[in-house]
Amino acid sequence: MNKSILAGVLALALTGCASQQPDQPFTLTLAHVNDTHSHFDPSDARLRLDGTEVYTRLGGHPRLQQYAGELRRQAREADQPLLLLHGGDAWQGSGYFRLNQGAMNADVLSRLQFDAMALGNHEFDLDNERLAAFIAGVDFPVLAANLDAGRDPHLAELDNLRPYVLYAFDGHDKERIERVKDAGRDPVVAVIGLVLEDMPEIAATVGELVFEREVEAAQRTVRALREQGVKHIVAVTHLGLERDQRLAREVNGIDVIVGGHSHSLLGDFSNLGLGEGEPYARLFTNQDGRGRTCVVQAGQHAQAMGRVQVTFTPDGRVSRCEGGNTLLADRVFYRDIRRGEQHRFDDATQQRLAEAVAAAPNIALVEEDPALRAHIDEQYRPALLQAYGQVIGHVPGLLRHRRLPVDGQGSDVAPLVAASQLYWVNTPAVQAVTGRRADFALLGAGGVRTDLAPGEIKEGDVTLDMLPFANALSLVSLTGRQVAGLLLETINASLPEGAHTGKFPYVAGLRYQFDETGRDRGFLRRIEYFNQGQWQRLDPDASYQVVINGYHASGNDGWNTLFEAQQVLTDRIDLAWVNGKLAAFPVARLSRTQGGGVQVHYINQPLDCQADGVRCNTDAQAFVDYVREQRPVLTALPESGVVLNRL
C-alpha cells in the first residue's frame, strides 16, 4: 500500500458523505489468540485437577482449528456475528519457524480462517522481503494503522497490509467491504491494527519503516471511521497489556481491544494451579468520560482461545462485555511430564479428571482437527524430526523459564544460558580468535523461548526451540558504571504490571541485588563479579569484558545503555562461523537509521548472517557445547545471581 498505510485508505474513506448506520442494538462475539509463536504442535503442561497434579498437552493449531470451528458452529446456529482475530507474534518460537521462515505460518494461519491479525514485533525478525511474502501469502488482512511503509520497497505496495478492515454483518453472515455505505442497513464493524511504536528499538530489521505514536494514530483512525459512520470499532493490537489499558483510557471511541505481546493469560486459573491473572474483559472509561473500552488477551503459544461477547446500545456504546479464556487440553493425563505409557493414569482416574475439566469454566477437552493435524504431519513434521539431531544431555527434572522473578523464583534456564556463553567465550579455541577473556555475561530473558522438560536434550531443542534467533555472541568492553546503568534501565522497565519482561537481565559471573523502593522503581544494593575465585565489588570506573548476544549488544529491546556506549567508538567483536571456521567481526560504532533502527558499522567485512557459508547462532552453539562438555546431566544452578526484592 502506497506511502503511509493510513494516508491512502483514510483518504478513500473520507471521500463522499458519511454513511448513516441504523440505530439498533448489536451483539458481537470475538474469538481471539495472540503470541502463538509457531506452536503448531501442542505444549506440555502441568495442571492441578480435582486435587491431583497432572501432566497433559495444551493447544497447538489443530486444536485451535477444532475449537474455532465449534465457536463458528454455535454462532451460525444462533445467527450471531463472529470475528476470529490474532493479536500478533505468529512468528518464531519453534523449529517449524526456523525451518520454514514464515511460509508455514502463512499456510497454517490461512487454514484457520482468521478475519484479521495485528503485526507483532517478531514478524520483523527476518527481513522485510520475507515479511512481505508472509503478508501476501495469508488470506486475511494484516493490520497496522500506525505504520508508514511508503519508503519500503517490499511492503509499500501490499494490498493486504492495511490500517483497518471493515466487515458488514447480516446476522452471522459477514462481508468484507471497502466503504460503510456499501453495507446498506447492515451493522458494520471496523477492526484497526496497532504495532509497537518503539519497534526500531526492538527489531533490528525495520529498514526505512516509520512507526507512529500508538495513541495519536489510534485516535486519528477512530475519528476518521466515526466520520465515515462506523459505530463499532475493535482494535487488534500487539502492544502489551499495560499499553492496551493506557490506550483504552486515552483514546476515545475504541470499543474493544484484543491484545498481545505481554503473553497475558487473563482470568483466574488458580483452580488449575496456574494462578490468577488480571480480569478478563475489563472495562476502562475513555478520556472523554463517556465511552468505555473492553480489554482482552489470550495468553501464549496457542494454548488458549479467548471468547468475548460485546453488546452495544443503539447509539453504538458498549453496554456489556463478558467472556473468558479457555485452555484447550488433550484428553489424556499423566503423572509425569515424560508422558510414557507407564506414567498414564488408569481409566478410572482418567474419567474423574475428565469430569473435573467438564466442571471447570476455563478449560476444555478438545480434539485436534484431523485434517490440519495430517497436513502438518505430512508436509512439515518429518523435516522437523530430522533437524533435531543428536542427544547432547539429559534433564532429570523440569527446568522452568520465568522472564521476571516472582516471589524469589526466577528462571532456571536463563542463568544456565548465560553460564554457557561465559564458558564458551573463554574456551581456548574461542580465545584464540578473540584474544580476550570475558569477565561475565549478560542475557535478556526474552532470548530464551522455552522451558526444558525432563528427558533427552537434542541439539535442535536448543538451536530450534530454546534459542531460535540465531544470534551471534558479542564481546564488548563496558565500565562498571555502564553495567550498573544497564541493569537499572532494564530492571525498572520490566517491573510495571503487564510490561514486556523480555528485556529483564540474567547474568553469569556477576551477581546483583535490586530492591524496589517505590512503584516500579528501585536501586542496586549490591553488584559484584567473580574474579580469581572470589566475589568482588564492581568498580564503576574499571573496564570489563562482557559477553552478550548481538541483538542486545546493539541496544535493542530497551538495552539503550549499550547503544549509547557504542555510538562513537567500540571495541566490540561479533563471533560467527564462515565456511565452518570461527571468525571475529570487529565493530567500529553504532548509529540509528532514519526510521530509528540500529545500524552496526563494522571495521572490515560486515557480518551478514544471511550470506552463504555464514552461521551466526553462536549463542545456541555455546549452550550445546556447554551441556555436552560440562553439564550432560543438566540441573539448575545453585544460585541464579539475581535477587529481586519487590515491595
Name residue, grid cell 529481586.
644
Are residues 41 and 190 located together in one domain of the fold? Answer: yes
Residue ending a domain, among 353, 379, 405, is: 379
Q: Which element (helix H / strand E) includes 195?
A: none
Are residues 451 and 333 located together in one domain of the fold? Answer: no
Residue ending a domain, among 332, 347, 379, is: 379
Chain-centroid distance, C-alpha 470: 17
Determine the Cα–Cα distance for residues 586 and 563; give it in Å rounded to an integer: 16
Instruction: For residue 76, give the CATH number of its domain.
Output: 3.60.21.10
Determine the Cα–Cα distance for residues 446 and 555; give it in Å rounded to an integer: 14
573: in domain: no
538: in domain: yes
Are residues 270 and 346 located together in one domain of the fold? Answer: yes
| 232-237 and 282-285 beta bridge pairing | unpaired
The Cα-based distances of 418 to 445, 459, 503, 621, 630 in angstroms read 10, 17, 14, 12, 14
Quote the pTM value: 0.76
Are residues 315 and 420 located together in one domain of the fold? Answer: no
- The pLDDT score that the predictor gives to residue 281 is 98
Are residues 31 and 81 located together in one domain of the fold? Answer: yes
568: in domain: no
Backbone angles phi, psi at 628, to 5 degrees: -65, -40
246: in domain: yes
Are residues 176 and 66 located together in one domain of the fold? Answer: yes
364: in domain: yes
598: in domain: no
CB atoms within 10 A of CB 291: 19
Domain that holds residue 543: 388-554+614-645
Q: What is the DSSP string of 472-507?
A: PEEEEEEEHHHHHHHHHHHHHHH-STT--GGG-EEE
Helix axes 618-629, 413-425, angle to 10 degrees: 90
The grid cell for 294 is 473492553
The Cα-based distances of 316 to 31, 187, 233, 254, 284 in angstroms read 20, 10, 9, 11, 16
Backbone angles phi, psi at 543, to 5 degrees: -105, 140
Does residue 287 contact residue 250 with C-beta atoms inside 8 Å? yes
Residue 605: burial class (beta carbons within 10 Å; 0-12, 13-18, 19+): exposed
Instruction: For residue 447, give the CATH number of its domain.
Output: 3.90.780.10
Determine the Cα–Cα distance for residues 14 and 18; give it in Å rounded to an integer: 7
Q: Which element (helix H / strand E) includes 190?
A: strand 188-194
Secondary structure of 328-358 as H, E, C letters:
EECCCCECCCCCCHHHECCHHHHHHHHHHHH
600: in domain: no
Are residues 163 and 184 located together in one domain of the fold? Answer: yes
Are residues 273 and 335 located together in one domain of the fold? Answer: yes
Does residue 43 contact residue 60 with C-beta atoms inside 8 Å? yes
251: in domain: yes
Determine the Cα–Cα distance for residues 287 and 271; give it in Å rounded to an integer: 36
- Residue-wise pLDDT for 590-632, tens only, equals 999 888 889 999 999 999 999 999 999 999 999 999 999 999 9
Are residues 164 and 57 located together in one domain of the fold? Answer: yes
Residue ending a domain, among 379, 399, 418, is: 379
Q: What is the mean pLDDT of the chain?
A: 94
Does residue 38 contact residue 59 with C-beta atoms inside 8 Å? no
Are residues 429 and 469 located together in one domain of the fold? Answer: yes
CB atoms within 10 A of CB 237: 34
Looking at residue 492, its amino acid is: N
Are residues 183 and 221 located together in one domain of the fold? Answer: yes
The Cα-based distances of 17 to 2, 183, 366, 429, 564 in angstroms read 24, 14, 48, 72, 51
Are residues 374 and 511 located together in one domain of the fold? Answer: no
- The pLDDT score that the predictor gives to residue 207 is 82
Number of structural domains the chain divides into? 2
Q: Which residues in the chain land under pLDDT 50?
A: 1-17
